[in-house]
Structure formats: structure tokens, C-alpha cells
Amino acid sequence: MKLSLHHIALALVLAFYSTSQQAEITSKIDLPDMGDSSGTIITPAEEKELGEHFFRSLHSQVAINQDAEIQEYIQGIGQKLAANSDGPKLPFHFFVVMENDINAFAGPGGYVGVNSGLIVLTEAESELASVMAHEIAHVTQRHLYRAAEAAGRLSIPTMAATIAAILLGTQSPALGQAAIMAVMGSSVQFQIDFTRENEMEADRVGMQTLQEAKYDPRSMPTFFERLQQSSRYYGKDVPEFLRTHPVTASRISDTRGRAETYPYKQYSDSLGYQLIKAKLKALSTNDDAGTAKYFQSRLKQGTSEQKTVAQYGVGLVALKAQKFAEAESIFQQLAKEYPGQPHYASGLARTALEAKNYSVALARYKKLTEQFPENEAIKFEYITALVRSGEAETAKKNLSSLSYKAQKQPEYYELLAQVYSDLKQPAESHRYLAEYYYAMGQIQDAIFQIRLAQQSKGLNIHLSAILRERMDFFINEQIEAKRNE
Ligand SMILES: [Zn+2]
């Protein structure tokens, strides 16, 4: 049977929306038809809930990158593309998954993930942008929600976990398997035909976005070709991206033809792209010596900017290998040469932090927060440094100055839990650990932490009430999640 997991994902989402549609039929008469793309079939609130569940579920299955600089970059390029897409008002959330496998995916609720392996494979920023624009198009064209038959009834948590497992290509997670079996039906073949159209449409719409956002449209076919070539080396083990978005010769020639209609222009990569790619390469390697050699071989190649990036790469590998003296001297030199560039000075501050040279690290971060007050990545690293050097009170103050978005990240809750633990407030600490586990998709651990919080001494009425409310909420979620098992 020719059946890709991508299409089961579609069937699953559709199964979900058919039940919500039935609910609507009873309340409304002028119901839009199934092919309607206005977003009325699954309500925005339901989609938001499904998306949040999906993201938590991802956290429990793979390592979502938590590096503040990398997050800031991927959000930046993603939001720029989204703003130039045909759904500029839709909510989007972009993130990097630390997996060497080549993959990118769009889940419900505008959650778009790109694997570190894919970013490292790109050879130009426009190539990365072309993959992201394609995923954004799947979202704006509502491919996850369009047309098809109903196949079953699933709870939102089960649906979310299953979509996550499918998009990641996770091998038979117990939860996903049961749900997949529940929705496999007669409509599967139809899905496959429909999805080929979806792929073409995502290419076409994505290329438009790419061009509007001032990236090179020619990068799309170029990257598809690179993907196809790379898959030859994989043999049977095809990259996940190709499984969920099959790249055919006709897609390559189609996108090539369309790209050629745009006037030829020279495009250059942003420094941010080059630095983040170097960072991901350094972070994700298992072979520090080999990666160091790779960057060293590039110290004398290309433009002066590329040489500088290679130097940065050498510094990052040295830092990762805890060669602090070497990292210190490299970042010193870079920060001195490029004082307006936050990445180099951050590398220098991080070197002091990793070397447990706390007073120096704090002084460097403090200076950076003054020089780049809007930079959330620096703020976050500064707070981490404060926590690690035992300055819990100052850390707490700074945590409250983070943006609303940052305050919903699991790492935010983790820092907060540590701060309260240091301040000898165990109930608060367990409470925030519970939020951390919840954000990580580990509901059982969240419930356990609430219980520990409730057993802590010196609980006031206000906190008791919050804990009771959160306990009820988590238990309800757990019941809901188990409904389809
Ligand atoms: Zn696709």
C-alpha cells in the first residue's frame, strides 16, 4: 500500500474537525462546505488548543532547541516570511528541533519546526527560507484542515500527540499507534492524490512569499535538488522531510520554471544566518575535533565575513570542548573587532560562565544588557548566569522583565523553579516545576510536582487556591488524554 504518514496526519486532523463540525451543524444553519478555507470549520480556539497540545507533545518526543540566540534567529526569519505570506495575521511559532535527520514540518496552530540537520544542509539563507515558506504555505492554505472524509473521533491530546509522532517520523509510539489504527479508513487513497496537489500549491504559494520577503526564489529548486542528492546517500533511510513532502522530478522542474520567471538578482546571506548555522554545526556534532578542523579549513576561504564566521565556529567548538583559554582568546578578538555584534560578546560572556568565572560572566552580561536592551536572548542568558552564580533575588527581578512570549517557554519555568528553590520557597519552586513539566508534555510529572507543592510547609491561602486550580486542570487534561487509549 502506498501510504505515507503525512497523509494519515491529514486524516487524523480531519477526523477531529468532522466532530467539531457536527457540533456546529446543530447550532448553525449556514455552514461552509468542507473545502472552505476560511477557517470556520475548526474554530480558532480549538485550533489554538490543538496547536498548544501539539507543541507540548513535541517537547516530550524530541529536543526542541533552547538556545536563546537560535530561537531569536528562527523566529525572526519565520515572522518575516509569515508577514509576507497570504496569512500575515495568522499566529505562527517557529522553532528548531535538535535532530540531525533532515526534516521540517508544519503542525496545527501555526507551529513550524525545522531540524538542525536541515539548517546545516542548506548552503544559503534563501534555501532555509524556501523550506520555511513552503511550510508556512501549508498553514495558510489550511492543508491540514481541508476536504476529506471523517475517519474517527479522537480527543485533542491524542490527536496532537499522534500528529507530532507522524510529523517527526517517531517509530511506533504506543499512543500514536492506537490512534493511527483507529482512523485508517477507506478515504486514504483519496488523501494521497489530494496531498500531491497540496505539495504543488505549497511550492507555488511558498515561492511567492519567498520573493515578497526578498529571498531568492531560485533557492527552492536548488534546495530540492540538494535534498534529492542527499537522499541517495541515505539509501533506504530516506530523510523524513522527503517522506512527508516527496520531492519529485516534476516538482523540481515546476519550481525551476517558475523561479526563472523572476528577474535574476544577487542575494547575500545575513550574518545571523551564517552565525546560527555555525552554532548549530558546533552544537550538534559528535565529532568536536572534526568540526574544529572543518572551521579551521575555512579560515582562509571566501569573504572576510565568511572568515570571521569560521573563526566564530572555531571558538564555539573550543567552548563546547571546554577549552576555555582558546575560546576566550578567539571571542576576545572577535568582540574587539566587531563591538556592535552581540553574538561575539555573548560568546565571550558564555565562556566566562562555563568556566565558572561568575563575577566576570555577570559583568560581561550586564554590560551586554545595557548595550542591547531589546535583545531577549542576551536577557535570558544574563538571567541564567545570575541563577547559576546564586544571585536568585536579582534573577527573579529580571525574569519578570522578559516578554510575554518568553514567559511561556519551558526554560523560563525551569529558571523560576530554580530561583524559588534558592530562595527557600519550596512550594513556589514545585509549582513552577509543574508548569515546566506541563510545557514539556509530561503531565504525570506536573501532577506529582503540584502534590509536592501542596505538601510543602507554610502555604498561604492564595497559593493553595492556585495549586488546587492547577491540579484540577492537569487531572482533567490527563483524563482527556487517556480517553482514546
Ligand atoms: Zn509539503
- 10-residue stretch averages of pLDDT, the chain, 485 residues long: 39 41 33 38 80 90 91 96 96 95 89 96 97 94 56 63 70 50 40 65 95 96 88 65 76 92 92 96 94 95 93 97 97 96 96 97 97 93 96 96 86 96 96 96 95 93 97 92 68
169 CA from centroid of ligand 1 (Å): 15
13 CA from centroid of ligand 1 (Å): 16
Yes or no: say if 159 and 179 are a contact pair by the CB < 8 Å rule. Answer: yes
Q: Which cell is 315 given?
A: 571558538
237 assigned to active site: no
The per-residue pLDDT for 237 is: 65
The per-residue pLDDT for 145 is: 63
353 CA from centroid of ligand 1 (Å): 41
Q: Which cell is 113 given?
A: 519546526
151 CA from centroid of ligand 1 (Å): 22
47 assigned to active site: no
Report helix angle 426-439 to 443-455, nearest 10: 170
52 CA from centroid of ligand 1 (Å): 21
The per-residue pLDDT for 296 is: 96
106 CA from centroid of ligand 1 (Å): 9
User: CA of 87: how far to CAs of 206, 240, 252, 359, 435, in Å?
Assistant: 12, 26, 25, 47, 31
198 CA from centroid of ligand 1 (Å): 7
- Residue (of 344, 347, 343, 352) closest to 375 by Cα position: 343
Active-site residue, from 99, 125, 135, 199: 135
Phi, psi of 177 (to 5 degrees): -60, -50
> How far is it, in rounded angstroms, from Cα 363 to Cα 358?
8
134 CA from centroid of ligand 1 (Å): 6
157 CA from centroid of ligand 1 (Å): 24
Q: What is the 3-state secondary structure (H, E, C) of the chain?
A: CCCCHHHHHHHHHHHHHHHHHHHHHHHCCCCCCCCCCCCCCCCHHHHHHHHHHHHHHHHHHCCECCCHHHHHHHHHHHHHHHHCCCCCCCCCEEEEECCCCCCEEECHHHEEEEEHHHHHHCCCHHHHHHHHHHHHHHHHCCCCCCCCCCCCCCCHHHHHHHHHHHHHCCCCCHHHHHHHHHHCCCCHHHHHHHHHHHHHHHHHHHHHHHHHCCCCCCHHHHHHHHHHHHHHHHCCCCCHHHHHCCCCHHHHHHHHHHHCCCCCCCCCCCHHHHHHHHHHHHHHCCCHHHHHHHHHHCCCCCCHHHHHHHHHHHHHHHHHCCCHHHHHHHHHHHHHHCCCCHHHHHHHHHHHHHCCCHHHHHHHHHHHHHHCCCCHHHHHHHHHHHHHCCCHHHHHHHHCCCCCCHHHCHHHHHHHHHHHHHCCCHHHHHHHHHHHHHHCCCHHHHHHHHHHHHHCCCCCHHHHHHHHHHHHHHHHHHHHHHCCC
For CA atoms 397, 52, 168, 205, give the dihedral sign: negative
9 CA from centroid of ligand 1 (Å): 12
The per-residue pLDDT for 69 is: 92
The per-residue pLDDT for 50 is: 87
244 CA from centroid of ligand 1 (Å): 7
For 155, half-sphere exposure in the C-beta direction (CA atoms, 13 angstrom radius) is: 16
7 CA from centroid of ligand 1 (Å): 11
Active-site residue, from 203, 254, 411, 477: 203
Domains belonging to the chain, first-starting first, are 5-259 (no CATH), 285-397 (1.25.40.10), 409-485 (1.25.40)
